[in-house]
Amino acid sequence: MAEYDLVVRGGEVATGFGTTRCDIGIKGGRIVALAENLADGAQVLEAGGLLVLPGGIDSHCHIEEPSRGGYVGTAGDVPVTVNEESFVTASTSAFAGGTTSVVCFVPQWKGEGILPRIADYEQRAAKGMLDYSFHQIITDPTEDVLQREVPQIVAKGIRSLKVFLTYEPLHLSDEEYLKVLVTARKNGCLVTVHCENYAAIKWRTEALLAAGLTAPKYHAWSRPPVVEREATHRAIALAELVDQPIQVFHVSCAEAAEEIARAQHRGLKVWGETCPQYLTLTAADMDRPGFGGAAFMCSPSPRTTEEHARVWEMIRRGTLDVVTSDHCGFSMGGEDGKAVSGRDAPFRDIPNGIPGLAARLPILFSEGVSKGRITLDEFVRLTATNPARLMGLAPRKGMIAVGADADLALWDPKKQVTLTNALMQHAIDYTPYEGMQVTGWPVATVRRGAVVMRDGKVQAEPGTGQFLARGPYDYIRPRGVLENGFDAAPMP
């Protein structure tokens, strides 16, 4: 009987803290040996000439996410529209791009609690092949939700609450945001924040529409960097008041990143993430004839090529230490995606979001490592090690080490690929990165010791993903620093 279930042989193993050429022995879904010349396993995966990286962790993606209203399916007696990307298609796309684990979003609808949505979403997620955990969105922080229901989802292993400071009907007031911060502190959760100023965007949007400026390109005009910078500053200030750690999602510009850097310099537990769209796409991409610009609409908006360089610098400085996809796909064709309000709809009524599950790692590797903007170690930390640590998934996920889950991406660093929608293998009918040339490509993906993708062919079975329950962890523990020493929200 073979000593190992799988041996990955002869690759250059990247740990995030240097590389070493060795074999990886895997048994029972976990890494059990890192050494030269291991005995053959029941299966051998030859990695000569390849990099062996930790499987990517995408800690910010929207998958099969129901929204209230519409006509596709039901949740109880409530009609819902469901995000086009199912957990099966998302798993396929993620594996094709070298990602093995995700953290996605359970919705809350105004006027309702969170427990019914959790039950529904657990059933959806269990059909996929990815390993997964959840952020719980809070849009209606009633006393019942915060005092009774949040402790129940924490007991299930959900350790992050997501809030929006913009969007109708998702945004929270400052008072509501404070209540969520307090609840998170009491329950040992991280708070993740979409930082844009709701009132400023609403005011500016109404002015643009009144002036007849309705095309997709004016989406960028409606939410310039200042509204992101202001909301980031406010989100950090209120979190500091409560002594609650936060992560600022999808930072698009240096102005917002500088607010995070100042907070970090003061010793606050504030982290920032960005996404490939803020390193490659621009506002000019939305300036296309007719409805074409809608394909590039996401929030915050893509900025300028000059801003790309500034965001890269914030990555190198460590201010932005996680890169996610913010995968949120809406097809361009048909009537259910970007065109749900009609192909002549003003930018305000076009769904925000772009697909990116499969594209995330190849774009970051090509634009970052291949072009010399970041090192291979930085790439590993940005895409696997750091999100695992921040989300409470380490040391099980995000690293190549004895005892960790055998989640691996075998990477050909010299392979040149032209991105197409077919390569993305997602449910969406386009990719905003169509035609982009990348250098570096995953040729095999291993999830918990099973080869789930090889040469672009995904071979995992639906229902084989596992929920990643997250217990308490010190990394997001409050600092214990309070104004005047007064604790307005004492922890248990």
CATH number (domain holding residue 323):
3.20.20.140
Count how many domains the chain has. 2
Residues 41 and 122 in one domain: no
Answer whether 444's CB lies under 8 Å from 156's CB.
Answer: no
**Does the residue 392 lie in any domain?**
no
What pLDDT was estimated at residue 80?
A: 44
**Does the residue 231 lie in any domain?**
yes
Residues 366 and 444 in one domain: no
Percent of the chain with pLDDT over 70: 97
**Does the residue 388 lie in any domain?**
no
What pLDDT was estimated at residue 81?
A: 61
**Does the residue 279 lie in any domain?**
yes
Residues 29 and 176 in one domain: no
Ranges in the chain, pLDDT < 70: 69-81
Q: Which of 344, 378, 412 is where one domain is finished?
A: 378
What pLDDT was estimated at residue 72?
A: 31
Q: How far apart are CA 191 and CA 181, in angstroms?
A: 7
**pTM, 2 dp:** 0.95
Residues 310 and 426 in one domain: no
Residues 103 and 12 in one domain: no
Q: How far apart are CA 412 and CA 440, in angstroms?
A: 6
Residues 115 and 246 in one domain: yes
Residues 6+ apart with CB under 8 A from 491: 185, 186, 478
Answer whether 257's CB lies under 8 Å from 320's CB.
Answer: yes
Q: At what angle do helices 225-242 and 174-187 cross, to 10 degrees?
A: 50
Q: Which among 186, 170, 171, 160 is positioned nearest to 105, based on CA atoms? A: 160
Residues 50 and 60 in one domain: no
Q: How far apart are CA 106 and CA 150, in angstroms?
A: 13
DSSP states along 168-200: TTTB--HHHHHHHHHHHHHHT-EEEEE---HHH
Residues 156 and 272 in one domain: yes
Residues 193 and 214 in one domain: yes
Q: How far apart are CA 23 and CA 45, in angstroms?
A: 10
CATH of the domain at 445: 2.30.40.10
Torsion of CA 427, 100, 60, 291, to 10 degrees: -20
**Does the residue 466 lie in any domain?**
no
Answer whether 414's CB lies under 8 Å from 370's CB.
Answer: no
**Does the residue 362 lie in any domain?**
yes
Give the domain extent around 215: 56-378
